[in-house]
Amino acid sequence: MSSGAKRRVFWCGVVFATCTVLALLSAVGAYVSQLGMDVPIPWTPLLRQELKDWYACGFLSIGVLWVAARNPLEPRRTGKWLLIHFLCGLVFSALYALLTAWLVAGERSVMHPGKILTFPYLLRTVGFHYCVVNLIMYWFAVLAQLGWTYYQSYRERERQTAALQRELVEARLQALRMQLNPHFLFNTLHAVSSLIHDDPEAADRVIARLSELLRLSLDQSKPQEVCLNEELSFLDRYLEIELTRFADRLHVEKRIQPEALEALVPYLILQPLVENAIRHGIEPREDPGHLAISARRNNGRLELRVADNGAGLGGSGAAQPKEGIGLSNTRSRLRHLYGEDFRFELTEGGNGGLEALIEIPYHLKPAHGL
C-alpha cells in the first residue's frame, strides 16, 4: 500500500472512530436525560440508532473533506468558494437525510416504543427539521479541513525557514573557514622561508607537514564540528612545524581530560589560538617559551584553554587585545554555531602571558544540525 493510501485509510479510521465516540456520548446523554421518566428509553435501540445516524454523518463527511480539499480558499476567489460550498452543503443535507432515513427505517421509536419509524417520516424529520443542523455539520467539516490545510502550510513554511537558516549559517561558516585558510597558509610559508637557508632538512619536514595541513584544512567534506581528538591531531601537525622552527625555545604542555576527547568542537578552532600565542607571546621572547593547552568538561560545558608565558597585554591596560583575522573569525564561528551560548575571552594569565578561553556546550551531536 502506498503512503498516500495509508494516509487516506488512517484518516477514514479517525473519522469513524470520532463518530463512534460521538454516538456513544449522544446515546448516554439521551439515556441519562430520560432516567426520571415513567418509561425509560431502551438502551440497545437507542445506541443502534445513534450509531447509524453518526456513521451516516461520518461517511458523508469523508466526501465533504474531499470536496473541501479540491476547492481550497484562495485570494480573490472567496465568492466562488462560498457559492460552491453553499451548493455542496445543500447536497450534503439532502444525502444525509436520505441515508439516515434509509438506515433507521423500520426501527422502533425510542421515545414512543409502540411506533415504527418509517422512511417518509424520517426523511421529513431529518430533511426539514434538522436542515440547519446538517448545514452546520457540513461547515464544521469544511472549516476543520481548512484549518488543517493552514496548519500544514504553516509547518511547511517553518521547515523551509529553518532549512534556509541552516544553509545561511553553513555558508557563513564556510566563508569564514575559507578566509582563515589563506591567512594560515601565509603564516606557515613565512615559517618555511625562515628555515630554508639555515636548515634545509628542517624546511623539508615543515613542507611535508604543511602539505598535510593544507590537505586537511582545504577538505570541503569536513563538517563544521569534529571531535576534540581529531582537532588535536590536526593541531599536532601544526605544532610540529612550530617546534621545528623554535627548537629548544618552545615547550608545549597538554592537559586533556579523557572524557573531553569525544566532545565536538568547531573544526580548526585551536590552531588560531595557538598561532596567536606563539606569534605574539613566544616569538618576541629570547628566553624559552611555554605553551599550555588544556581541555576539560565542567558542569555540562567544555572548556578549552591556550596559555603562553609571553608579555601578556604588555601593560597597555586594555581589557582585551586587538584581534586579528584568526581570532575574529574564531569569535564569529562560535557565534554562528552556538548563538550566545559560548564564552571567548583573552585575559592575563596567572603567571604572566596571555590565556585564551573558549567555553561551549559539551555535546556529542552536531549543533543546529550542521
Of the candidate ranges 26-30, 84-88, 316-320, the one whose mean pLDDT is the lowest: 316-320
Alpha carbon distance 358, 304 (integer Å): 5
What's the angle, vertex CA 266, arms to CA 262 and CA 272, rounded to 5?
A: 115
In the numeric block, the cell 480539499 is attached to 69
241 is a domain residue: yes
Cβ partners under 8 Å of residue 46, min gap 6: 27, 30, 31, 110
Q: Is the pTM of this model over 0.85?
A: no
For residues 291 and 364, membership in a common domain is answered with yes
Q: How far apart are CA 368 and CA 309, in angstroms?
A: 37
Mean pLDDT of all residues in 323-334: 78
Average pLDDT, the chain: 80
Angle, alpha carbons 360-361-362 (nearest 5°): 115
CA–CA distance, 10 with 4 (Å, rounded to integer): 10
324 and 230 in one domain?
yes
Same domain membership, residue 84 and residue 18? yes
Q: Is there a single domain that holds both residue 96 and residue 207?
A: no
Alpha-carbon span 275 to 270, nearest angstrom: 9
**248-274: per-residue pLDDT in tens?**
889 999 999 999 999 999 888 898 898
Same domain for 108 and 189? Answer: no
Domain's final residue, options 76, 111, 129: 129
Each residue's pLDDT tens digit, 79-136: 888 888 888 888 888 888 888 888 888 877 776 666 788 888 788 777 777 778 888 8
Domain boundary among 84, 113, 129: 129
pLDDT tens-digit readout, 50-59: 888 888 888 8
Per the domain annotation, does 157 fall within a domain? no
Residues 244 and 365 in one domain: yes
- Whether residue 235 is contained in a domain is answered as yes
pLDDT of residue 37: 62
- Joined together, the cell numbers standing for residue 369 give 544540525
Residue 366, sorted as left (phi over 0), alpha (psi -120 to 50) or beta, turns out to be beta
CATH number (domain holding residue 294): 3.30.565.10
CB 365 within 8 A of CB 305: no
Domain annotation covers residue 155: no
DSSP-derived 3-state class of residue 355: strand
Q: Which amino acid is at 24?
A: L
Contact 335, 344 (CB under 8 A): no
Same domain, 120 and 167: no
Q: How many domains does the chain have?
A: 2
pLDDT in tens, 270-290: 988 988 888 888 888 888 889
Q: What is the pLDDT at residue 355?
A: 92
* Shared domain check, 313 and 183: yes
Domain span at residue 67 reads: 3-129
Based on the fold, state whether residues 190 and 329 are members of the same structural domain: yes
In the listed set 129, 151, 170, which residue is the last one of a domain according to the structure? 129
Residues 276 and 347 in one domain: yes
Provide the 3-class DSSP secondary structure of residue 9. Answer: helix
Instruction: Give every CB contact of residue 293 below 8 A, 6+ residues apart in sequence.
Output: 235, 252, 253, 254, 255, 256, 270, 274, 305, 306
With a CB cutoff of 8 Å and minimum separation 6, the contacts of 303 are 294, 295, 296, 297, 357, 358, 359
Is residue 153, in this structure, part of any structural domain at all?
no
For residue 143, tell me if it sits in a domain: no
For residues 97 and 222, membership in a common domain is answered with no
| Domain match, 319 and 361 both | yes
Helix segments in 196-324, DSSP class H: 200-217, 228-246, 270-276
Cβ atoms 340, 364 nearer than 8 A: no
